Chain A
Amino acid sequence: MKDKPWFAVAYMFVITVFFSTVLIGFARLTQDRVIANEQVMFERAVLESFPEIDVPPTPQVNQRFSELFKKSDDAAGAFVYLKDGQIAGYAVPLEGKGFWAPIRGVVGVSKDLTTILGISFYDQNETPGLGARITEADFREQFEGLTVGKIERPIGIRPPSVSPADNEVHAISGATQTCVRLEVLINEALSAWLEAMNGREVDDE
């Protein structure tokens, strides 16, 4: 029987059906967790983009996020940061090409759109020890309190040898490519968002 041509076909068919069924079942089981994990990553990044917020451990991130942030059509795709019912800032999502893979993050902007409050990244695959250091506090803290520059170039990332202007931070030495791309992607997101926000007022409700 094993040598019959139909046996090979039938065997392959049965085995494929069996393994696929188990896999589909397993994927279904973990699906909710996988989606929730991705959502929590983003929400954590939003919280981290405002240094004054204490970021809670992972299980409470979602709750804290929904207490403090709301999505508003008037905020041009950004999340509105509410403190005691008052608008205290905006969390603007960032996305663009890094050196190896896409970089995704969030930048916190003050209510009057003039100051960067903080920045955080939730998805990047830059070189460990070099480009990946954009996620470290030393680099991110430089953004806190940065003045937003002209709309064409809201922020800048300059080599460590140059002394930075009000809207500039120092790049990571050895990670020039990551920093160049990061500057582009932050500026693209910020320019587009500032453009869209121009002249708009968001209700505190």
Chain B
Amino acid sequence: MSKAPRDIMLDGLWRDNPIFRQILGICSTLAVTNVVLNTAVMCVSLTVVTMMSCLTVSLLRDWTPRNIRMMVQTLIIAFYVIIVDLILKAYWPEMSRNLGPFVGLIITNCIVMGRCEAFAGSNPPGPAVLDGMFNGLGYSFILLAIAVLRELLGMGTILGFEIPYFATPYWDKWIIMVMPPGGFFVLASILWVCRSIGAKEVKK
């Protein structure tokens, strides 16, 4: 059941997008999208962890007994997550504290284990890494879209830079956007938009 690289990329980015198709990894989507910079770091972390976990799971796939494969996957994912967490703590402590527990919670992100289980466990390393990477990117672009909207509407800035009009008193800041409920509103709107576009494609 080999898949062409093009299909792997398109599936990860759009056709089987983890966020708006599979609705996976929603907790972090809601939690870390109030400021663009935090989101970007979270996206990079998740993409790296997914890629590396898929690679390792794929390399070990011929050795791992089927009945304990989940345990092995969890161990591998936890390994990479802790490494990412340690790197942030050591070299970017401010960011590590901004993200709080959410880096550690990548372990429980369904996207990572989902890809290991659904793809990497039964495919060679090359395609597995590609699949992990593009699922990570599919997650990332939706998260960044949410974060840009939330930070812009809620604080009038993007990446901390003041945006003309939105940072001036003319724009009454939608404070709720940077608070937890804002995550639900924006996520739902983006799901709606993306799925509407997707529905048109299917009709064609």
Contact = CB atoms under 8 A, between A and B. Distances in A.
Interface residues of A, number: 27
A195 to B, nearest CB: 32
B79 A129 contact: no
Interface in B65-106: 65, 67-68, 71-72, 75-76, 79, 82-83, 86-87, 89-91, 93, 97, 100
B86 A129 contact: no
Contacts of B35: 128
Looking at chain B's contact residues, the main secondary structure is helix
Contact of A16 (B34, B75, B82, B154): B75
A38 B93 contact: yes
Given A8-B67, A11-B64, A27-B86, A129 B93 contact: no
Nearest to A127: B179
Nearest to B78: A19
Interface in A76-130: 101, 123, 125, 127-130
Interface stretch (A29-37, A48-56, A67-75): A29-37
B179 A33 contact: no
27 contacts: A2-B63, A2-B65, A3-B65, A7-B65, A11-B63, A11-B64, A12-B72, A15-B75, A19-B75, A19-B79, A23-B79, A23-B82, A23-B83, A26-B83, A26-B86, A34-B86, A37-B89, A37-B93, A41-B93, A101-B100, A125-B100, A128-B34, A128-B178, A129-B34, A129-B155, A129-B173, A130-B175
Interface of A: 2-3, 7-8, 11-12, 15-16, 19, 22-23, 26-27, 30, 33-34, 37-38, 41, 101, 123, 125, 127-130, 174
